[in-house]
Amino acid sequence: MVAGVAAVFFLLTACTKEVPVTVVYIGDSTQFNPKPYTIVSPWFFPTQMNIPADNPLTVDGVFLGRTLFYDLRFSGYQSADSQMCCATCHVQENAFECGMNGAFPNGHPVGITGIATPNVMLPVVNLVWQNDGYLWNGLIHPDNPQANRRSLEDVVSMAVYAHHEMQSDTNKARNAIAVISGYKPLFKRAFNTETITFHLMAKAVSQFIRSIVSVNSKFDQYLLHQISLTTSEGNGFVLFVTEQGADCFHCHGGDGNPLLTTYQFYNNAKDSVFNDSNDRYGVTGDPMDHGAYLVPSLRNCELTPPYMHDGRYTTLDEVINFYSEGLVNSPYVSPLMHKIANGGAHLTPQQKADLKAFLLTLTDYDLTSNPAYGPPPSFP
């Protein structure tokens, strides 16, 4: 048997000798080197990824995107006090939201000209598994009649244009980057051209964003049987995934859906009057979508206050109290909020503490500390 295996092995090695070796240029910074970038995740994560055929992830593309994501000159402005980059708002240590501990203490970001964004933040995390539309109302989706409102690449250019974000334009942004000669080799390596266009900038930033995954929270380690949960966390988990308990899982996932969201759009019973033209109804025109917004992933929710699209809650305790006894009925509430008739799940103080303990197991310190998601070692 051993001899047989050895013979097969010998045969294989003998064969590979005949195969011509592809020459790869390693270490030469001027060469196009489309080495694929691999996203690594535990086996229970989705296998289908939202990566367009014309923008596959490469190591050099992701690196270029990361450099641009952190480069203040991306906004196209020259004077330092009006410069802004994606990382001004999407902060790694806050799971790529702005949080309430940094530049925007109320958690509500303000763009370059001082205008607040219409909603609070969404994280740029695990977007490679988000398929049904970006932004709180899902405006950016593949079936959008407007051809420039369909992909993650389009969200990047929207961030540059938006008056409540960079209030710039894509030509300005392109010119600001194109004059920096040090960027040319990075584009050459990533896209095989030194001609810098905004289109390629958006592609690179999108590659970087798609590479940002949160897959190693305490909850993931628990699902991998590497650790166990405390009694309180375990009780909170049971509350989270049971219909008689707090019943969060129909919208926010759980052991069978580690993204901790279905990425669908629902009205979760916060209000009875709806006049936000940027809600889901504003996109679909379906009356059931009044007051409906994207179900955000609860991964890292510890780090991402304030909560809900309008940031009305600043702590997880407030959110839990809302789901426990603060539900407001209206014709548009999702039927998955089936405790609506009683105004909520009516949790005891102990159950609330347990549910919160579970939510805190969703924090992923790998995400917040991984140097590959942080600023590049240097800027060109």
Residue 301 interacts with ligand HEC (CB under 6 A)?
yes
Residue 105 φ/ψ, nearest 5 degrees: -60, -25
Shortest separation between residue 307's beta carbon and ligand HEC, angstroms: 4
**Ranges within 135-194 binding ligand HEC (CB under 6 A):** 135-136, 152, 155-156, 159-160, 165-166
Q: What is the DSSP letter of 116?
A: B
Residue 110 interacts with other proteins (CB under 8 A)?
no
Residue 323 interacts with ligand HEC (CB under 6 A)?
yes
* Contact region with other proteins (CB under 8 A), list: 23-31, 46-54, 94-102, 144-152: 46-54
**Ranges within 102-141 binding ligand HEC (CB under 6 A):** 109, 111, 117-119, 121-122, 124, 127, 134-136
* Residue of 337, 345, 357, 362 that binds other proteins (CB under 8 A): 337
Q: Which residues pair with 79 in a beta bridge?
A: none
Angle, alpha carbons 239-241-242 (nearest 5°): 70
Nearer to other proteins, 208 or 237 (CB): 237
Residue 349 φ/ψ, nearest 5 degrees: -55, -40
For residue 205, count CB atoms less than 10 angstroms from its CB and return exposed for 0-12, middle for 13-18, buried for 19 or more. Answer: buried
124 binds, among ligand HEC, other proteins, none (CB under 5 to 8 A by kind): ligand HEC
Q: Which residues, other chains included, contact 254 with Cβ-Cβ below 8 Å and sequence gap of 6+? A: 237, 240, 241, 248, 260
Amino acid of residue 95? A
Residue 341 interacts with other proteins (CB under 8 A)?
yes
Contact 57, 37 (CB under 8 A): yes
Tokens 């050895």 locate to 6
Amino acid of residue 30? T
**Ranges within 213-252 binding ligand HEC (CB under 6 A):** 246-248, 250-252
Residue 260 interacts with ligand HEC (CB under 6 A)?
no
Draw the binding track, 258-277, toward other proteins (x: CB under 8 A; -: no contact).
----xxx-------------
